[in-house]
Amino acid sequence: MSTLANLKLVNAVKPAALPPIVQKRNKLMKRLHEQIELATALTEGRDYTVTKLRTVKDDDGNTKTVSQPKRVKQWWWTAANGKTCLSVRYGAKVIELAKGKSAIELNNKDELVETLQTLKAAVDEGELDAAITAASGEVRSRLKK
In a domain, 132, yes or no: yes
**pLDDT at 4 > cutoff 90:** no
What amino acid is encoded at 82 in this protein? G
What amino acid is encoded at 11 in this protein? N
In a domain, 8, yes or no: no
Q: Which of 106, 117, 93 is nearest to 35 (CA)?
A: 117
> With bands split at pLDDT 50, 70 and 90, how would you rate the model's confidence at 137?
confident
The fraction of the chain above a pLDDT of 90, given in percent, is 44
pLDDT, averaged across the chain: 88
Q: What range does the domain containing 107 cover?
A: 19-144
- Number of compact structural domains in the chain: 1
In a domain, 5, yes or no: no
In a domain, 33, yes or no: yes
Burial of 111 (0-12, 13-18, 19+ CB in 10 A): middle
> With bands split at pLDDT 50, 70 and 90, how would you rate the model's confidence at 87?
very high
In a domain, 85, yes or no: yes
What helix, strand, coil percent values describe the chain, rounded to 5? 45, 25, 35
In a domain, 1, yes or no: no
Q: Are 16 and 116 in contact (CB under 8 A)?
A: no
In a domain, 54, yes or no: yes
In a domain, 7, yes or no: no
Q: Are 61 and 87 in contact (CB under 8 A)?
A: no
Gap between the terminal Cα atoms of the chain? 61
Q: Which of 32, 26, 52, 136 is nearest to 91 (CA)?
A: 136
